[in-house]
Structure 1
Amino acid sequence: MARIGLISLSDGRDYVHSGIVEFVRSTEDRLAAALAEAGHEVVRASTPVFANTEATSAGREIEAAGVDLTVLHYCVWAFPHFTMLAAGALRGPLVLVANPDPVQPGMVGMLAAGGALDQIGRRHTRLWGDPASVVATIGTRGNAAAAVAKLRGSTFGRIGGRPMGMNTAVANTDQWQRQFGIDVEEIDQWEIVRRAEAADPAEKRTAREWLERHATVRYDGVKLTPELLERQIGAYLAMRSLIDEWHLDFTGVKGQPELTRHFATMDVAEAFLNDPYDWNGPKETHVCATEADMDGALTMQLMKHLSGTPVLFADVRHYHADRDIWDLCNSGQHATWFAARSDDPAENLARVTLHPEVFFFPAGGASVHHIAAPGRMTLARLTRLDGAYRLQLMPGEFENYDEATTAALEAQSTPEWPHAFARLDVPAETFLSRFGANHIHAVPGDLRPELREVCDLLGMTLDEFTRG
């Protein structure tokens, strides 16, 4: 939910304002109550604005409160320069809201103020209607503004460099700082190896035993042993220490080929960083992208801020044309939460199998396998076209099948890895000819309205895929 500022604008003639101020306040009360009932935190200016000094002080008051978005509220005729003065003190996005009333010309006030903002190039959104009719739209834009605001001042930890020549995994750090306000901390993968070896042996053992109790662990004595599983757990603990020490808000780990050839895969670490729990209990999810995919991690971080849930990371591995479904599958990256999407880790882990790693990864370790639970999903990815960011966005459905069908589908790719079988609301020809990366990301539900607003706030192109 968002932190929303609220300023009501009034008439600058004192004798007029004194006769309408109670109407302004009561109308503002209704809008504030509707926003609060929707779950938002509302910060109201101390008084309706009726003078130029009040306009500036109200803007400064709301700006100092650190709001994500400010609503400028018009239920009466309001002098337009009050809006300009208030907006001059506000750095965040603006929504102009008119409460149509045949007696009071609030809509006239909004149009006059909006036109003045247009003249100086100050972008804003306009809405009109009673509080019940506008609160959802304000909330959608507020949630998007909150997600964008959380990016600014954050730090991405890039562990390792470009993986296997993957250009789409590498972004321009200057562009990130300018457009999103994100700093990038470069850290060598040796830190994972060094810290994993030094991690607490007792915690590594406790974590291994917890996984053995709740998931199915298929040791083979070669690619997956208790020692290798504890090494992967040590990598998770190493990442946690790096995150705490360097104050990293989200991360990505190169992994291939150095760690996967000579140390162990990062599958366990990446899965549980993205999970809302580990063997110590509930925790905040931490977005960690495999193959140090910067734009993938950025997409996930935005979607996490909007959804509050873990975010799927997957390769677009295969298209089953006979079924019109996609196999979204990538090593052990999927958070185990997606197995059942339950608040109870035991319920999710009951559907998880730790397989010995496949021949791609000579160092061995566990691959964290499960089938993503069914449900309506939002799928998205930030990609770049000629250097400019765009958000590629589409709805879809994760599907589950009977055991024999699932096994047959898995066998066509890599059965040891996690899979999400997705029916996308876009023709395969359109997707494959336009999608700008090999990785894709997903969260439950329909976040398309919020992601459209994110694009508008960040000045990005929206590339929305549809069936039509």
Structure 2
Amino acid sequence: MARIGVINISDGRDYVHDGIAQFILDNEDKLVAALTVAGHEVVRGRAPVSTNTLATSVAREVAAQDVDLTILHYCVWAFPHFTMLAAGATTSPLVLLANTDPVQPGMVGMLAGGGALDQIGRRHNRLWGDPDSAEVIAQIGTLAKAAGAVSALRGSTFGRIGGRPMGMNTAVANTDQWQRIFGVDVEEIDQWEIVRRAELADAGEKAKGREWFERHATVHYDGKNLTPEKLELQIGSYLAMRELIDEWNLDFTGIKGQPELTQYFATMDIAEALLNDPYDWNGPKEPMVCATEADMDGALTMQIMKHLSGTPVLFADVRHYHGDRDIWDLCNSGQHATWYAARSDDPAENLAKVNLYPEVFFFPAGGASVQHIAAPGQMTLGRLTRNDGKYRLQLMLGEFETYDDETTQALMKMSTPEWPHAWARLDAPGELFLSKFGANHIHAIPGDHRAELRAVCELLDITLDEFAR
């Protein structure tokens, strides 16, 4: 969850403030307790703001705690310039929260302060209700999660391994634009580092990884495109990426892969799937976003989604639209994290549904593709795309579905059965999606996270392009 600052704004007249100070603190206690129960870390201002000097000093103290979101809390009438001074002393997103007590005019104070912020163009959100209202706390939580995701981007580093893949312009972003909008730096690393390090990787670790897959998944060796040696080379590629991440302090990554590695070395399917998974053969770990085809906007979308959901993020091509069923085949080599096979934190449960197949003719260097069918459930799908150079988030709700074995096999054989598939029913007409969606790649997380992503767009000042029926 997020770190939230709470600052109470009061009346500037001593004789008034003295009579309402305890009322303010009682309401603050309710708000802080409710936020804490909801899982947030709360940083309280040391005193209600009743003077201009307190407005600045209290806000600076709260801001110094690196909060993701600051709540200016109005239980009573509050001098509007205190809002302006406090807002000027913090750079985090602001929420103005007013109670609805009929005796104390907190709502009036919020409107006066909010109007003043409007005049100078300072963005903020406004909420109202009892400080321990479940609805209010949920609304704050949505804004706080969005603010936390945006805050986590700033100062982070994306590692791009290789350049533009196969002429794919949608996979390449402007690094200056990334710094300006998202606060993200880009470290360029040559793919030769994967080749060099994979071959030097610890032989014992490569063997452990291979045995882990053989023990829990179904490995279809064919003696040519997929051999134990080739699988260990792919596992070595994963170990190489872990080294690069540690050495360069990378926060999220993308690997070009095609065509050089997939023609002459090995596919990156194992490395990409394992990086996105919350585990490997050594136990649980933090999922590390890795986008195939070095897709920068894809990786950025995934990083935001990961911060919001706390789960691995699915990366896929929009491979095919089955118009007769109104479902989409979301499929892309081995990029799908194995977590999506069963959505379990137990890797054995997921890998029991995973096949490692010899790669197909697209990738003559061989290696294993990581094949499974994504487990069913509600999903939030979307992607950051650019229209005339300006960022937008294209967003929709959907459902992943599963079918009987006969239907599943028939659907897979229509495209590439050796690759992972997610059968998606989108809350958007096929004609709208195909006419408007700005890339061939799409990303998804479990549950309905549209409210948080709408808030992310507002915080980043980018366009929201939401699809619905």
TM-score grouping bracket, smaller chain normalisation: over 0.9
1:392 to 2:394 alignment: yes
**Unpaired runs of at least 5, structure 1:** none
SS where residue 23 of structure 2 aligns? helix
SS where residue 416 of structure 2 aligns? coil
Whole-angstrom CA distance in 2 between matches of 1:9 and 1:347: 52
Residue in 1 that maps onto 2:450:
448
Residue in 2 that maps onto 1:69:
69
The one of 218, 221, 224 aligned to 2:220: 218
Q: Output the amino acid matched with 2:19.
A: G
1:334-363 Cα offsets, whole Å, 9 max, x none, are 000000001110000000000000000010
SS where residue 255 of structure 1 aligns? coil
Residue in 1 that maps onto 2:4:
4
Q: Output the amino acid matched with 2:321.
A: Y
1:171-220 Cα offsets, whole Å, 9 max, x none, are 00000001000000000000000000000011111110111010000000
1:295 to 2:297 alignment: yes
SS where residue 302 of structure 2 aligns? helix
Residue in 2 that maps onto 1:458:
460
SS where residue 248 of structure 1 aligns? coil
Residue in 2 that maps onto 1:159:
161
Matches within 5 A, 1:240-389: 240-389=242-391
Whole-angstrom CA distance in 2 between matches of 1:413 and 1:270: 21
Whole-angstrom CA distance in 2 between matches of 1:76 and 1:203: 63
Residue in 2 that maps onto 1:421:
423
Deviation at 1:386, TM superposition (A): 0.3
Whole-angstrom CA distance in 2 between matches of 1:361 and 1:404: 28
Deviation at 1:37, TM superposition (A): 1.2
1:48 to 2:48 alignment: yes
Whole-angstrom CA distance in 1 between matches of 2:7 and 2:428: 42
Residue in 2 that maps onto 1:14:
14
Deviation at 1:262, TM superposition (A): 0.3
SS where residue 97 of structure 1 aligns? strand
**Ranges of 4+ aligned residues in structure 1 off by more than 3 Å:** none
Deviation at 1:135, TM superposition (A): 1.1
1:369-397 Cα offsets, whole Å, 9 max, x none, are 00000000000100000000000000000
User: Number of matched residues?
Assistant: 467
Whole-angstrom CA distance in 1 between matches of 2:76 and 2:419: 61
SS where residue 271 of structure 2 aligns? helix
Whole-angstrom CA distance in 2 between matches of 1:104 and 1:200: 68
Deviation at 1:115, TM superposition (A): 0.9
Whole-angstrom CA distance in 2 between matches of 1:181 and 1:249: 13
Q: Output the amino acid matched with 2:62.
A: I
Whole-angstrom CA distance in 1 between matches of 2:270 and 2:418: 13
Whole-angstrom CA distance in 2 between matches of 1:355 and 1:123: 51
Deviation at 1:134, TM superposition (A): 1.2
Q: Output the amino acid matched with 1:98.
A: A
Residue in 2 that maps onto 1:28:
28
Q: CA RMSD for the aligned pairs?
A: 0.5
Residue in 1 that maps onto 2:105:
105
Q: Output the amino acid matched with 1:58.
A: V
Deviation at 1:225, TM superposition (A): 0.5
Deviation at 1:312, TM superposition (A): 0.2
Deviation at 1:164, TM superposition (A): 0.2
Whole-angstrom CA distance in 2 between matches of 1:119 and 1:419: 51
Residue in 2 that maps onto 1:136:
138
Deviation at 1:140, TM superposition (A): 0.4
1:278-335 Cα offsets, whole Å, 9 max, x none, are 0111110000000000000000000000000000000000001111100000000000
Q: Output the amino acid matched with 1:294.
A: M
Matches within 5 A, 1:93-242: 93-131=93-131, 132=133, 133-242=135-244
1:221-268 Cα offsets, whole Å, 9 max, x none, are 010001100100000000000000000000000000000000000000
Whole-angstrom CA distance in 2 between matches of 1:179 and 1:206: 42
Deviation at 1:100, TM superposition (A): 1.2
Deviation at 1:119, TM superposition (A): 1.0
**Unpaired runs of at least 5, structure 2:** none
Whole-angstrom CA distance in 2 between matches of 1:218 and 1:126: 57
Q: Output the amino acid matched with 1:236.
A: Y
1:48-76 Cα offsets, whole Å, 9 max, x none, are 01101111111101110100010000011
Q: Output the amino acid matched with 1:205.
A: A
Whole-angstrom CA distance in 1 between matches of 2:457 and 2:441: 20
Whole-angstrom CA distance in 1 between matches of 2:324 and 2:27: 57
Whole-angstrom CA distance in 2 between matches of 1:16 and 1:128: 23
> Once the two structures are aligned, what percentage of the paired residues are identical?
79
TM-score for the superposition, normalised by structure 1: 0.99
